[in-house]
Amino acid sequence: MTTESTNRQKSNAFRLLAPGVVWMILFLVAPIMMIVYVSFWTQTTFSINSTLTLESWKNFFGSEAYVGALWTTIRLWLIVLAMTFLIGYPAALYVGLLVKSKTVSTILLVLCVIPFWTSFLIRVLAWRPMLGKEGAINIILQKFGLIDSPIEVLLFSELSVIIGMTQIYVVFMVGPIAFMLGRIDRNIIEAARDLGAGFGRIFWKIIFPLSLPGVVVGAIFVSVMVLGEFATSGALSGRKVNLLGNIIVTQVGSLKWAMASVVGVILTILLGIVVAGFLRIVDLKREI
pLDDT the model gives residue 90: 94
- Residue 248's pLDDT band (cuts 50, 70, 90): very high
Per DSSP, helices labelled H in the chain are: 3-24, 30-38, 55-61, 64-93, 102-113, 120-125, 128-131, 136-143, 158-182, 186-194, 199-202, 208-227, 231-236, 244-253, 257-279, 284-287
- Smallest Cα–Cα separation from 80: which of 229, 194, 182, 185? 229
Length of the chain: 288
Mean pLDDT over residues 10-36, rounded? Answer: 90
107: Cβ–Cβ under 8 A, 6 or more apart, which residues? none
User: Which element (helix H / strand E) includes 48?
Assistant: strand 48-49
**Number of C-alpha atoms within 13 angstroms, CB side, residue 158?**
12
- Residue 287's pLDDT band (cuts 50, 70, 90): low
For 47: left if phi > 0, alpha if psi spans -120 to 50, otherwise beta; the answer is beta
Distance of CA 92 to the CA centre of its chain: 17
Residue type, 151: I
Q: How far apart are CA 5 and CA 153, in angstroms?
A: 70
Rounded to two decimals, the pTM is: 0.89
**Taking 90 as the threshold, does the pLDDT of residue 264 lie above it?**
yes
The pair phi, psi for residue 70, each rounded to 5°, is -60, -45
Query: Which has more pLDDT, 214 or 283?
Result: 214
**Number of C-alpha atoms within 13 angstroms, CB side, residue 176?**
21
pLDDT the model gives residue 128: 87
Residue-wise pLDDT for 149-179, tens only, equals 888 888 889 999 999 999 999 999 999 999 9
Per the prediction, the chain carries an average pLDDT of 90
User: Dihedral of CA 30/268/215/173: which sign?
Assistant: negative
